[in-house]
Amino acid sequence: MRARIRDFLESREGWIFSVVDYVHIDGVRSLLRYIPDESGGRIAGGRRYRKLDFDEAFDFLRVRRPDYVRDVHVVPFDDVKRFFRPADELPRVRAEDERVGRIAEILEEHGIPERCIGITGSMLLGLHSRSSDIDLVVYGNAWWKARDVIADAKRSGSIQELDSATWMKIYMKRKPSIPFDEFVAHEMRKGNRGMIDGTYFDLLFTRDWDEIEPVPPGRPLCRSRIVAEVVDARYSFDSPGIFRLDHEIGELLCYSHTYAGQAFEGEMIEASGVVEETPNGLRMVVGTTREAKGEWIRSLTLMSSLSRGCG
């Protein structure tokens, strides 16, 4: 019953959930994503499914299985029919889709082991279409090298950078609390997105099994804005992204995919979020709501360098 973020599961009712945590005490912490529906627009295994957005999923389960509903959805272990594992399904998907195969080959040719690569999202489930985005996973420390490989592939032309229309589409979907130009500046240097044959893809981070540890609970205290130096960003692309800080608030947890990887070690950041008290001291949480309104992370170091570059 071990499960990590980027895995999916199918319940006994045929509902499909995405796994959203590493530690599962009395059930698998997850979010409901697809339900069988004869009028649904997705098809897998001869069965039609409908995709639920965040609020729809909670409303559905409050009626059908209120015992699943907590801060996320907790599926009892006995109700899990099967898991979908990104690394296990990659060979099948790459054989079916030449774009996935080409990205995987680029990574493997530059030293990323096949066992460290997976496919997630709708392609993992077989619920995708030709226009679906590609969500790849790389596990553990190999992720940082994979990020560099993607950057080199963009320079060589085998992978393309996102065009302005795609950046705007992502910006409008995420609705971040920072201006569009700042959003794009931060995103472009993250190096984990690209285009292949006109299709957008993401390179997502997941921890190796031996890196997993629980996140201690916190008690919310207040909203605040801080300026601090990042001293450790090794898990900044995780979910939650973790930034260690040289500040009385020693840690920043980011639950918003928009701000994952937003700053690197040694950089100064500005962050707005909710301060919590934990057994290990104070921390800030960014992404306390789905759209993280009024919450953000900005690299002041990046913004300063761009300003100097403009003269």
- What pLDDT digit, counting tens, does each position of 50-70 carry? 999 999 999 999 999 999 999
Query: Distance (Å, rounded) from C-alpha 283 to C-alpha 277?
Result: 7
pLDDT bin (cut points 50, 70, 90) of residue 72 is: very high
Beta strand spans in 101-218 (E): 117-120, 134-139, 193-196, 199-206
pTM score > 0.85 for this model? yes
Q: Could you give the maximum distance between any two Cα atoms of the chain, in Å?
A: 62
Written as six digits, the tokens of 139 are: 């596990």
pLDDT reported for residue 311: 46
Instruction: List CB contacts of 49: < 8 A, sequence separation 6 or more.
Output: 16, 34, 35, 36, 37, 40, 42, 43, 127
Per-residue pLDDT of 214-238, as tens digits, reads 999 999 999 999 999 999 999 999 9
Average pLDDT on 72-97 reads 96
Per-residue pLDDT of 118-177, as tens digits, reads 999 999 999 998 888 999 999 999 999 999 999 999 999 999 999 899 999 999 988 899
The answer to whether residue 47 scores a pLDDT higher than 70 is yes
Structural domains of the chain in order of their starting residue, each with its CATH number: 8-84 (no CATH), 86-209 (3.30.460), 217-309 (2.40.50.140)
pLDDT reported for residue 129: 85
Instruction: List CB contacts of 60: < 8 A, sequence separation 6 or more.
Output: 32, 35, 52
Per DSSP, 132 falls in state S
